[in-house]
Structure 1
Amino acid sequence: MSSIRYLAPARARGRDCTYNLFRNRLRPELLCAVPEDRPVPGFLDPGGWRYERALRPSDKSPPGFEERAARAGVRFNGFYLFQITDARAELAA
């Protein structure tokens, strides 16, 4: 008698932390995501960057934000730089 096992469908791994988003003042399409439990990198000075908003796990990702790349960036650098890929897109709160 054979046994049939059913696997649960794979689902995309969601964001598991809240990121603080910072926007570059000279290039507004460039953002930096820093997990809220990490220190803010020194290059995010108020003259060149401004705080945009918190990106919570339940929030929709901005265009250009890649979950897997964010995890790798944070793992190696402590932050994740990304570019908004749709010029018409706004970061909805």
Structure 2
Amino acid sequence: MSDESSQGFNIFCRRDEPDIRCAVPEERPVPPFLEAPVWEFAGRMDRGALASAGFGEREIAEAIQAQGYYIFQRVKP
């Protein structure tokens, strides 16, 4: 089994508000609400990178367990 810190996420962003993001674990299906034209695929990120961007491991884990995805807002420096 792979290390949890290397778990990959597919990242989606809203087209009208690109700082609103949704992280979906690669092994999970993409939720139906992430459809075009409202959302678009923005790339991939591993759990460590997501956590280092200021999002707590606990919050990420709880959101994934409860909903299957994690919605967050990207904050520009």
- Smaller-chain TM-score range? 0.7 to 0.9
TM-score (norm 1): 0.67
User: Which of the two has higher C-alpha Rg?
Assistant: 1
Q: Where do 4+ consecutive residues of structure 1 move more than 2 Å?
A: 59-67
Provide the TM-score with structure 2 as the length reference: 0.79
Contiguous gaps of at least 5 residues in structure 1:
1-13, 89-93
Identity level (%): 33
Structure 2 regions of 5+ residues with no counterpart? Answer: none
- 1:60 paired residue number: 49
Pairs aligned (count):
73
Aligned-residue RMSD, C-alpha: 1.9
Higher relative contact order (CA 8 A, sep 6+): 2
For 1:80 and 1:30, how far apart are their aligned partners in 2? 11
Higher strand share: 2
Q: Which has the higher helix share?
A: 2
Task: Confirm or deny that 1:46 pairs with 2:36.
Answer: yes
